[in-house]
Structure 1
Amino acid sequence: INLDPPVLTVHQSIGDAKEYYQERTVFLRCSGNSSPPALLTWHRNDRHTLIGDEGVSIYEPLFTQGETKILKLKNLRAQDYAKYSCVASVRQVCGLKDQKASFKLTNRTAAPSIQIRVTDPVIVNPGDLVLLQCEVLGGDPPPRLSWSRVVGELPPDIQVSGGNLTIPRVRLEDAGEFQCSASNNVSGPVRKSISIYVRTLRNGRFWITPDPYHEDDTIKIGREVKISCQVEAVPLEELRFSWLKNGRRLRPSDRIIISKADSELAAGTSSLDIIDLRFTDFGTYTCQAKLANYASPEINIEVNISSSTVPPSVSVPPNRARLRIREGKDAELQCEVHGKPKPVLRWCRIDKDCTDPVETYDGILHLRNVSRTASGVYRCQTSPYNGFNVPPREAQVELEVLYPPPVFPQTLELRQALGRSVSLRCNVERGKGWRPLRYEWRLDGSLLSSARYDAADPNLYEIEKLSNRDYGVYNCSVSNEAGTSSCIFSVNGRAYAPEFYYDTVNPVRSVKPNVYSFLLQWTQKEPEAVDRVTSYRLQYKQIRSGHPRWQGVDVSVPSQIRRGDLLSHTISDLYKPFSYHVRLTPQTLFGDGDSALRLVHYYEAPTLSPQTGDASCSFEDESLCGFRHDPSGNFNWTRRNAEKKNPNTTPNTGPLTDLAGSSKGMLAADVPYSPGGTPAGHYMFIEASRPRKPGDKARLISPIYTLATPSRSGGRQNVFCLFFYYHMYGKHVGSLNVFIRSYGTLGDQPMWSHSNNMGDHWHKANVTITPRGPFQIILEGVRGSGMEGDIAIDDVTVVEGSCAKQSSFYPSPRNSCDMALSHTCCQLYLVALALAYGLMWPR
């Protein structure tokens, strides 16, 4: 779950216009990134912008799935030059607060315009100081400048300050394309790029090409021979070549052709063609490469042309064609190469793409810490560089990596009851090796059996009838030439851990004023896997410092526990309001099994209305019937009555007493009810006086509501009715909102809302709720524009069934049972309610 700040950008209807007052239409685009999807709303000058406002339209672009909203200002007016804000909200899911982005639109608003005050590209020598300056030419609001590298990250030694990028001592790896970006949220970022070239001259190499027209493999008198040399140079425009023979500069002639840029070869190559080779042409030829404007050493590549020049050949030394090595060791694959000049060898595996071969000058390929995946056939092949440019010569070397035999399962736990048969099998994929496999079975280190691979089922160990002495750790070791692998079997009769049931209805009950009980329920995992569970050891201790001691009790169980049986025990001596660690351990003939741990928390269950028997809260108890304050709010609701009311309370707002029926258990009619409660009766209240500010919220969250029995609607969706009374009196009253938080539904769903002054009366609200599962009610009070805006609530009641059904079932104060007048009437009424409804409060 996340909520990123929204991104707000401004766009014009015509792309080449420079200033917004020249245009008649402006688009403000707001994009959000969140999970769950955020609700995007627009505000102008901190006021909510309505779609119906003339000249303003709000819409979502196609294929954006609610992640983008556009505010269109058509026929731009003077009042449209204002501050616009986009607010992204996920409605306080997981306490995530709203995010906002703002933009002030004026008649000077314009997109950025920039330039880089250096000629592109920048060519420098290694070690030089490089300074790139990016300058703002225009834009309103003033653009923000940043530098980046087109490919990769900026090197750590590069210094960026505003529009300046400085490289104190440039290196070869600093070369590349850099980009200056300017952004002011108008028409998207503007970018300018520039390249830095660092002069480089390296990696000189050569090759000899015999007469290509006759497909010769050797140099022959009277035939053509071509010498080529190549270097890596940056920039190529500054690269210069020259040729020497026996130390003297060579001049082109009819038979000597020098090509400084051979179109048939890669860049940075020069060729010397000798037509009709003569004996006098034998000698040492030197190819010189250097960069103009760079005082670095030149590269000299020497090539000897003589009658002793021979083409390359490759072979594998005796007894080196097949190499066997243990996994984890180093390996050396060797090929012998002959020829004059001696060429470079390239290595690669024949079953892999040879796009990046390994080059060696001594013919040896070094492999470090080889693994079994390195097994295969390797090819050594002559390179065309520093030798003859003829079809490559090659040879092959096979590498076999020896490793211990793979086994499975490597570890396995078996839980079995006494008297049962057990079979242990260590499956083996035979490893690479000369000697046969060998098996060895041990129990807790003691040898049980030993056999070769060709014995009958050497990888199987069977126990016909399990006894106490058969419990333990079995180790099956499998060996070959490369090493040993093992299968580990842990055989025991330990019972699995119990699994707690967390949906117990109303597990907490008050036993004494300072003592409560907790109904603990659980099921036993795989009860038939081991011997019968005879009892459970139940232990518990308080979660607070200074109380490390566990209290315990043994819990007896039925003669036989089946899978899925729900077991229970009531812990009856827990002290309010402390929480407890609870540990439950099953016990069998083997001994203690695995333990399960959970926490037990105390909470005050809501009181039941004496009038209805349903889940109702009149806030007469300090525990608030399990209601709690939402920490995501700006302030909290206050429990209050007339006796403890602050004498300095703001006049002309708020109730004088609680609802008239609160202390009597009566439900008022669906009409305003005049003050007339008792001074001792309590209600919940939000104070609008300072330091509260407009829009501040106080949120009260109910306990979780569940059904004690399946719904009477035959599997259809559950329906509940929420009754409560509210008092909204004062000229600055804000709003009162009701949300439902249902399990299986993301976010709080709005269900009811009321705003503004309702007079000095208590009013009744009926809200029908159709949750998908267990749910909570959230009562949110929002502070209005001033201090005369107090809001109060009282007698919050939830019953099963729709509110339309309840309106005919529940009597109004004028026809309700009066306990003093008709005791028999009220008895019948309460019995009817008990039979009709099964709404319970959960944990």
Structure 2
Amino acid sequence: MTVPDTVTPVKNASNVWLKALRKGRFWITPDPYHNDDNIQIGREVKISCQVEATPAEELIFSWLKNGRALRSSERMVITQTDPDVAPGTTNLDIIDLKFTDFGTYTCVASLKNGGIPEISIDVNISSTTVPPSLTVPRGKSPLVVQETETVELQCLVSGKPKPIILWSHADREAPMPDGSMQMESYDGILRIVNVSRDMSGTYRCQTSQYNGFNVKPREAVIELIVQYPPAVEPTYTELRQGLGRAFTMNCRVLRAHPSRVLKYEWKLGSRLLTMGQLDTRDDTEYHVRALNREGYGAYTCDISNEAGAGRCTFHVTGKAFAPEFYYDTYSALWQNKPRVYGFKLQWTQMNPSAVDRIMAYRLGIKQTGQQRWWEQEIPMEGTIQKGELITYNLTELVKPEAYQVRLTPITRFGEGDSTERIIRYSAPVNPHWSKFHCGFEEEALCMFTQDKSEEFDWTRHSAAIRDTKYTPNTGPSSDRSGSKQGYYMYIETSRPRQERDRARLLTPLFSVVPKKPYGNVANTPSYCFSLYYHMYGKHIGTLNVYLRQKSQTGEDSLVWTLSGSQGDHWKQARVNIHPTSSFQMILEGIRGSGIEGDIAIDDVAIEEGECRDPPPNSNLRSLAPSAAKHIWKLCITLLLVLGGQRR
């Protein structure tokens, strides 16, 4: 008999030691000098007792016979393993076993300083003490169960005393259900809950030396067969088909146990189509010769055995696939009115031939953040080909709102899958203009943006709202047209501005359209950039114009510059630019040495083609020849040279 494990924490000042006695076991070893598994009168027999102790050095053993203390003698030899060796073991050797030696021997384990209950183990030595035998009950092997069930594997053990039974896999090296390589059983039963298919195989039960005879283990094997439903493919697939078409569906068995004989049933919804059994094949097919409207829906194929069924599902639909928006449309956004813009919506149709001809698209559009959708149909003539690019222009979109667009194909089956995208108002890319112009009359500034990396910003201003604290002797008294109500942009050079402080204003981004699709440098288009400037005051600094290109890796190219006071009136500057990729212009104002240095700009324009009759400007800083007619004909090479003059 084994007393339960005992564990007690012991405190001393700030330290805590854990004292414990656990795993008390014994075994009986017949005479080691004779090849005999039984206990016999006149021969030696050894009783071993083992306990795990914490701390190990405090473990002590004592022996009793029939409740009376035993001391080591010539015939009763008591030994104990080194205290440093864990677990601790004590042996009682009975030399020349006599009839009077039969009885109950008790091994008592305790700790020197006490503090926890001791463990005692009783071992009976008598004429009825016999080694174990192991058998499998009739009808318990092989065991056939179905997946997810609970199964009990049983080995009958006889003998006195009855040993612990060890369970393991006999056909492979694999962990047992609890993760260990061996599981213990005191009653000879191995219980497996929620059995799975990978638990099929041969299991070994064998006697342990613990709580029994220390002899060659007895063992037996049990075969476990786990049945499970067929695993099939595809478990789910969608088939897009047009009316009148023929097609075939195939359901295949991957694995099953038992794998024969398998039965199958094909259904459309709840309606049985066909049934049968798979004798030699691992798959079954169902053919639709000509699809009609009643033929759309969910087709199922159930393949079953004794353990259950696996199902293939085929969802047959006439819905068209979703269209795919084309996001690389050249000049998709344009503006031809002050308050609205247009957008060129383009898309392709995914697998248009998979279903019936697409007759129309339902277009839905709404402002982002709103609930209400506006819908209309876009009719389609003819058959859409795979990869064909379809275009539809959206107009009257309110600036600067963003819109959510939804597109749904329609066939005679009905609506197909929808797709959505967001359209955002952004800088116009090559809008339909013959001349881009901005007079800064609206707060939106024609999509100009401030460079926040510089010391200060350009300011939108009108002479009509100028207060009495303005700096005299600098700045314009009206916009370029002479109107005091008109607006312009200027740099305010009063305090806290300091000399060399910069403000930069960036135009929208524009794309370059080559004159020929595959043109070379000679075919690069020309644009005329122009602006009106007002530079009046004794502390006027510098006004610079830079060209920034998307493909450019270095610094921005300086294309025009002017410094110093130019008088109290507006003047126009024009310059030819030759960008090779998407570009924008940068207008940079640099403060001079004092507060009388306001610089203003107005009526900024970009026009396709070379500048016509450019006004002379003796202050243009460049490396071109001094003749005025050459100053304004800035070629690509000159632009690159001027780019090196930027700060």
The TM-score range, normalised by the shorter chain, is 0.7 to 0.9
Which amino acid letter does the alignment assign opposite residue 279 of structure 2? Answer: D
Paired position in structure 1 for 2:90: 271
Paired position in structure 1 for 2:53: 233
1:541-552 paired onto structure 2 within 5 Å = 541-545=366-370, 547-548=371-372, 550-552=373-375
Which amino acid letter does the alignment assign opposite residue 814 of structure 1? Answer: P
Q: What is the TM-score when the length of structure 2 is the normalising length? A: 0.73
| Stretches of structure 2 lacking an aligned partner (at least 5 in a row) | 1-6, 567-572, 590-594, 619-628, 637-647
Please give the alpha-carbon distance, in whole angstroms, between the structure 2 residues aligned to 1:683 and 1:385.
98
* 1:411 to partner: Cα distance: 0.9
Paired position in structure 2 for 1:342: 162
* 1:338 to partner: Cα distance: 1.6
* 1:408 to partner: Cα distance: 0.7
Counterparts in 2 of 1:428 and 1:650: CA distance versus 1, 3 Å = farther
Paired position in structure 2 for 1:87: none
- CA offsets 1:332-356 (integer angstroms, 9 cap, x no match): 1111112211111122223234554
Q: Determine if contact 2:42/2:97 at 8 Å carries over to the other structure.
A: yes
Q: Determine if contact 1:607/1:616 at 8 Å carries over to the other structure.
A: no
* 1:479 to partner: Cα distance: 1.7
Please give the alpha-carbon distance, in whole angstroms, between the structure 2 residues aligned to 1:536 and 1:235.
83
1:253-652 paired onto structure 2 within 5 Å = 253-262=73-82, 267-274=86-93, 276-279=95-98, 280-350=100-170, 351-353=172-174, 355-429=180-254, 431-433=256-258, 436-454=261-279, 459-545=284-370, 547-548=371-372, 550-603=373-426, 605=428, 621-626=442-447, 637=457, 639-641=459-461, 643=463
- CA offsets 1:211-255 (integer angstroms, 9 cap, x no match): 334454333334433322222222212222222222222212234
Counterparts in 2 of 1:429 and 1:458: CA distance versus 1, 3 Å = closer
* 1:626 to partner: Cα distance: 3.6
Please give the alpha-carbon distance, in whole angstroms, between the structure 2 residues aligned to 1:791 and 1:268.
95
Q: Determine if contact 1:739/1:750 at 8 Å carries over to the other structure.
A: no
* 1:460 to partner: Cα distance: 0.8
Which amino acid letter does the alignment assign opposite residue 302 of structure 2? Answer: S
Please give the alpha-carbon distance, in whole angstroms, between the structure 2 residues aligned to 1:767 and 1:276.
116
Q: Determine if contact 1:230/1:268 at 8 Å carries over to the other structure.
A: yes
Please give the alpha-carbon distance, in whole angstroms, between the structure 1 residues aligned to 2:144 and 2:126.
42
Paired position in structure 1 for 2:642: none
Please give the alpha-carbon distance, in whole angstroms, between the structure 2 residues aligned to 1:586 and 1:768.
44
Paired position in structure 1 for 2:616: 814
Q: Determine if contact 1:606/1:625 at 8 Å carries over to the other structure.
A: no
Please give the alpha-carbon distance, in whole angstroms, between the structure 1 residues aligned to 2:442 and 2:430.
9
Please give the alpha-carbon distance, in whole angstroms, between the structure 2 residues aligned to 1:656 and 1:582.
47
- CA offsets 1:412-461 (integer angstroms, 9 cap, x no match): 11112223220011112352238722111111211111212239997111
1:214-225 paired onto structure 2 within 5 Å = 214-225=34-45
1:126 aligns with 2:9: yes
User: Once structures 1 and 2 are overlaid, which stretch shifts more, 635-644 or 398-407?
Assistant: 635-644
Please give the alpha-carbon distance, in whole angstroms, between the structure 1 residues aligned to 2:548 and 2:214.
81
1:141-152 paired onto structure 2 within 5 Å = none
Q: Determine if contact 2:407/2:420 at 8 Å carries over to the other structure.
A: yes
* 1:307 to partner: Cα distance: 2.6
* 1:358 to partner: Cα distance: 1.6
State the structure with more CA Rg. Answer: 2
Q: CA RMSD in A?
A: 5.6
Counterparts in 2 of 1:457 and 1:484: CA distance versus 1, 3 Å = closer
Please give the alpha-carbon distance, in whole angstroms, between the structure 1 residues aligned to 2:557 and 2:117.
83
Please give the alpha-carbon distance, in whole angstroms, between the structure 1 residues aligned to 2:133 and 2:70.
32
Paired position in structure 1 for 2:64: 244
Q: Determine if contact 2:490/2:598 at 8 Å carries over to the other structure.
A: no
Counterparts in 2 of 1:483 and 1:463: CA distance versus 1, 3 Å = same
1:659-678 paired onto structure 2 within 5 Å = none
Paired position in structure 2 for 1:838: none
* 1:699 to partner: Cα distance: 11
1:635-784 paired onto structure 2 within 5 Å = 637=457, 639-641=459-461, 643=463, 656=475, 682-683=488-489
Please give the alpha-carbon distance, in whole angstroms, between the structure 2 residues aligned to 1:282 and 1:739.
112
Counterparts in 2 of 1:130 and 1:334: CA distance versus 1, 3 Å = farther
1:533 is paired with a residue whose SS is coil
2:198 is paired with a residue whose SS is helix
* 1:576 to partner: Cα distance: 3.1
Please give the alpha-carbon distance, in whole angstroms, between the structure 1 residues aligned to 2:437 and 2:338.
21
Please give the alpha-carbon distance, in whole angstroms, between the structure 2 residues aligned to 1:526 and 1:251.
95
* 1:522 to partner: Cα distance: 0.5
* 1:197 to partner: Cα distance: 4.2
2:353 is paired with a residue whose SS is coil
- CA offsets 1:153-183 (integer angstroms, 9 cap, x no match): xxxxxxxxxxxxxxxxxxxxxxxxxxxxxxx
Please give the alpha-carbon distance, in whole angstroms, between the structure 1 residues aligned to 2:415 and 2:615.
61
Paired position in structure 2 for 1:821: none
Please give the alpha-carbon distance, in whole angstroms, between the structure 2 residues aligned to 1:349 and 1:761.
99
* 1:637 to partner: Cα distance: 4.9
Please give the alpha-carbon distance, in whole angstroms, between the structure 1 residues aligned to 2:580 and 2:112.
83
1:60-99 paired onto structure 2 within 5 Å = none
Please give the alpha-carbon distance, in whole angstroms, between the structure 2 residues aligned to 1:352 and 1:640.
83
1:561 is paired with a residue whose SS is coil
- Relative contact order, higher structure (CA 8 A, sep 6+): 2
Please give the alpha-carbon distance, in whole angstroms, between the structure 1 residues aligned to 2:291 and 2:17.
79
* 1:551 to partner: Cα distance: 2.0
Which amino acid letter does the alignment assign opposite residue 580 of structure 1? Answer: Y
1:413 is paired with a residue whose SS is strand
* 1:512 to partner: Cα distance: 3.8
Counterparts in 2 of 1:608 and 1:584: CA distance versus 1, 3 Å = closer
Please give the alpha-carbon distance, in whole angstroms, between the structure 1 residues aligned to 2:506 and 2:51.
76
Paired position in structure 2 for 1:11: none
Counterparts in 2 of 1:698 and 1:317: CA distance versus 1, 3 Å = farther
* 1:719 to partner: Cα distance: 14
Q: Determine if contact 2:475/2:600 at 8 Å carries over to the other structure.
A: no
Q: Determine if contact 1:226/1:271 at 8 Å carries over to the other structure.
A: no
- CA offsets 1:652-682 (integer angstroms, 9 cap, x no match): 9xx9579x9x969xxxxxxxxxxxxx99664
Counterparts in 2 of 1:289 and 1:604: CA distance versus 1, 3 Å = same
| Stretches of structure 1 lacking an aligned partner (at least 5 in a row) | 1-123, 133-195, 665-677, 782-786, 801-805, 817-825, 834-843
Please give the alpha-carbon distance, in whole angstroms, between the structure 1 residues aligned to 2:187 and 2:224.
19
Aligned residues: 584
1:528 is paired with a residue whose SS is helix
Identity among equivalent positions (%) equals 43
Q: Determine if contact 2:20/2:116 at 8 Å carries over to the other structure.
A: no
Please give the alpha-carbon distance, in whole angstroms, between the structure 2 residues aligned to 1:519 and 1:562.
20
Q: Determine if contact 2:47/2:91 at 8 Å carries over to the other structure.
A: yes
